[in-house]
Amino acid sequence: MFLLSILIMALLIIVILSFMLGFSHPLPWIVISVLATIGIIHDKLLKRKQLIWQDSMATGIALIDHDHKRLVMLINMFQEATEFNISARKVQLALDEVIQYTKYHFNREEQLMALNQYPGLKDHQLQHQQMIQEMELYMQEYRSDPDVAIEHILQFLQSWLMDHIKGNDRQYIPYLTITSLDNDAELHKPRIDDAKPL
Ligand SMILES: [Fe+2]
């Protein structure tokens, strides 16, 4: 990524300098075409590493699907922040947002399961807790060696979310006949305060 940034900077300088040859000279336009091609290829490569929401991942429960889609989006935003690595602060903010929303979503999912007396609630809660504990370990690594940890965190988040949505989250679908938390003000209240960054 660093080398790519240097290359783009160099090409931009060439564009500026070559315009001194006149707007009718082909050189600046050729370099601009190269820059545009690099941008398109880079964008395609970036998207190939991202999570893609598929209809087969839907649970059919609007609240859950909304949260899962948002998590996919937030993890992709974290991935973009790490790819461009403009500032450590932006990477940290993107990661904080993933963690906060994950905790918020776990809380909502567990409330729905409890409301429906889902028999697998305890096991499912345990899976959520184990995920948060694993993230805490990754965050320790992040504090001591962010460059290495970022790659580990990204891989963990991507694979965990996909496996969980396609696996364990499908088990509660037949049990969740009450699919909204709207009828209970306390349940509906966002628990973002429970979801401080690790
Ligand atoms: Fe879950």
pLDDT digits (tens, 9 = 90+) for 92-144: 999 999 999 999 999 999 999 999 999 999 999 999 999 999 999 999 999 99
Query: 171 and 111: one domain?
Result: yes
Domain shared by 31 and 64, yes or no: no
Q: Domain of 87: which CATH number?
A: 1.20.120.50
Task: For residues 30 and 125, state if they share a domain.
Answer: no
Clarify whether residues 8 and 65 are in a common domain.
Answer: no
What the block records as the tokens of 142 is: 């992040």
Q: Residue 92 C-alpha to ligand 1 middle, in angstroms?
A: 24
CA of 81 to the centre of ligand 1 (A): 25
Question: How many whole angstroms from 110 Cα to the centroid of ligand 1?
Answer: 8
Residues 160 and 186 in one domain: yes
Asked whether residue 162 falls in the same domain as residue 81, the answer is yes
Helix (H), strand (E) counts: the chain: 8, 0
Q: How many angstroms is it from 171 CA to the middle of ligand 1?
A: 10
What separation in Å is there between the alpha carbon of 70 and the centre of ligand 1? 14
Domain that holds residue 6: 2-47
d(CA 91, ligand 1 centre) in Å: 25
Query: Is residue 12 located within the same domain as residue 33?
Result: yes
Q: How many domains does the structure of the chain reveal?
A: 2
Do 60 and 25 belong to one domain? no
Give the Å distance between the CA of 152 and the centre of ligand 1.
Answer: 21
Give the residue from 12, 31, 47 where a domain finishes.
47
Q: CA 162, CA 68: separation in Å to the nearest integer?
A: 10
- Predicted confidence (pLDDT) per residue in 154-194, tens digit: 999 999 999 999 999 999 999 999 888 764 444 444 444 44
Per-residue confidence band for 6, with pLDDT thresholds at 50, 70 and 90: confident
Q: How far does the centroid of ligand 1 lie from the alpha carbon of residue 18, in Å?
A: 56
Backbone angles phi, psi at 41, to 5 degrees: -65, -45
CA of 164 to the centre of ligand 1 (A): 6
Say what the pLDDT of residue 192 is: 41
Nearest alpha-carbon partner for 5 in 41, 46, 38: 38
Percent of the chain with pLDDT over 70: 88
76 in the same domain as 35:
no
**Residue 186 and residue 107 share a domain:** yes
H helices of 50-120, in order, are 62-84, 88-115
Do 34 and 63 lie in a common domain? no
Residues 60, 38 within the same domain: no
Rounded to the nearest angstrom, the distance between the alpha carbon of 83 and the centre of ligand 1 is 28
